[in-house]
Amino acid sequence: GIYDHPGGILAQMLFDGLPVKQGEPYVLKKLFNPNLNSSQRHAVEHALGSPNLSLIHGPPGTGKTTAVTELIMQAVLEKKWKVLVVAASNVAVDNVLSKLIDMFANSPGSKSKGSSSSSSSGGGDKQTSERLRAIRIGHPARLTDAVKPFCLDALIASHDGTEVVADVRQEIDSLRAKTESKGKRPKKQAHMSFKEIRSELKSLRKELRTREQKIVSE
């Protein structure tokens, strides 16, 4: 049912009126964005102090995205959490990720290239030497240019193991072409029977799946 999963308590709060627990006050040790006003700072502290649910609301242009960006930085770098950002539109998620990219780009010693919904890590002072590790899930055609280097497709393309995967694919294509050549064999594979080729194809396809899965996981 709706409550038989890790988010069950949250579902009860949102739909069945289960009381929201009040957390202990959380005091920020430092700000990653020193331009936050008192209202934004209070919103971040309230969210970080909540044990399960917090709502930040306000009219357009009041800095909610800026507060959420600070909240993510604090959650990842100070509390060592992993963060999943979701929204009703691609633009909303891209706005958050763009602000995170800007914060890292303007931090001394930071590295803007990362591994990019959107999860992240990196930050100020000693932590700014870390790269922004965020993965943007979504179709690349719907993402802004600024966040495309953080989309899953781009990260896979730039992964060290992708070149090996391409080589495996090329070998598969070569062997598959051989089975369709009606007995015409390249000289270097003249010693292979069709049964051996099919066995080799099976092995290569298995290797290809394993390597692709490993790249996506990393």
Alpha-carbon distance of 11 to 27, in angstroms, equals 28
Question: Which residue type sits at 29?
Answer: K
Identify the three-state secondary structure at position 161.
coil
C-alpha 173: how far from its chain's center? 32
Sign of CA dihedral 184, 187, 189, 190: positive
Task: Count other Cβ atoms within 10 Å, centred on residue 67.
Answer: 22
Q: Is residue 208 within 8 Å of residue 168, measured between CB atoms?
A: yes
Alpha-carbon distance of 202 to 50, in angstroms, equals 52
| Lowest pLDDT segment from 37-41, 87-91, 161-165, 182-186 | 182-186
pLDDT given at position 10: 84
* Burial degree of 84 (CB within 10 A; 0-12, 13-18, 19+): exposed
Over 90: is that where the pLDDT of 143 sits? no
For 121, residues 6+ apart whose C-beta sits below 8 A from its C-beta are: 76, 77, 130, 132, 133
Alpha-carbon distance of 14 to 53, in angstroms, equals 9
Share the mean pLDDT of the chain: 79
Over 60: is that where the pLDDT of 166 sits? yes
Q: What is the pLDDT of residues 95-128, one digit of tens each?
A: 999 999 888 777 654 444 443 355 555 444 444 4
Q: Is residue 123 within 8 Å of residue 32, measured between CB atoms?
A: yes
Q: Look up residue 61 and give its DSSP letter.
A: T
Alpha-carbon distance of 188 to 175, in angstroms, equals 11
Q: What is the pLDDT of residues 47-84, one digit of tens each?
A: 999 888 889 999 999 999 999 999 999 998 888 899 99
Alpha-carbon distance of 158 to 151, in angstroms, equals 11
N-to-C CA span, the chain: 32
Over 60: is that where the pLDDT of 189 sits? no
